[in-house]
Amino acid sequence: MSGAQFVRPARPADVDVVVDVQVASWKEVYGALLPEEVVAEIGGGEARKGFHAQWSAALESPPTSRHRLVVATDENDGVRTVVGFAAFGPAGDPDLWPATDAEVFALHVDPSLARRGHGGRLLNATVDHLVEDGFTTVHVWVPEAGNALRSFYESSGWAPDGARREIDLGSALPMVRLHAGIG
């Protein structure tokens, strides 16, 4: 039976679960778009150590006071667990203004718990924080090819803003930037 569901600031004790959720979600979202060896590498020990260091640093020494890492929790049978996370802050793209343009750097939910409202709670909490911090627009990069992450954002009212890029993960992965007005 599902109990109380919250979004709260991440804590150092959450980092291992954040890494687990990131790896599982990346395999789900990007798995069909990447070479098999890259997908296998994402879950390997070296990548996990890198992700752990990245999220620990994000908590211990964020680049600005407006960079945040939050987690979604759920309570089942009296046990509260982290089921997803979001990282966000001032936009880093050179064509955006970091005083008013924000970016969602990551928003992932454990794929086995998808479609239970956790992503929506994370997105709503993210927007609430961003509005409090004075942002008026928020952006996110997603794979251009149809995928669950892009569909999630678009069903929440986000739309492409015309920016595109390719990231090299063993093969070129075309990305598009989505945006939404907030506030």
CB 107 within 8 A of CB 122: yes
Model confidence over 51-103: pLDDT tens digits? 999 999 999 999 999 999 999 998 777 778 889 999 999 999 999 999 999 99
Q: Which two tokens stand for residue 68?
A: 């945040």
Model confidence over 4-38: pLDDT tens digits? 778 999 999 999 999 999 999 888 877 777 778 88
The pLDDT, as a whole number, for residue 3 is 62
The residues, ordered by sequence, that sit 6+ positions from 23 with a Cβ below 8 Å of its Cβ are: 42, 43, 47, 48, 51
Q: Is 129 helix (H, G, I), strand (E, B) or coil?
A: helix
The pLDDT, as a whole number, for residue 1 is 40
Span 102-112, average pLDDT: 93
The pLDDT, as a whole number, for residue 171 is 78
Model confidence over 123-147: pLDDT tens digits? 999 999 999 999 999 999 999 988 8
Domains defined along the chain, listed by start: 2-181 (3.40.630.30)
pTM: 0.91
Q: Does the pLDDT value for residue 2 go beyond 60?
A: no
Q: What is the mean pLDDT of the chain?
A: 90
Residues facing 180 on adjacent strands: 138
What percentage of the chain reaches a pLDDT higher than 90?
A: 67
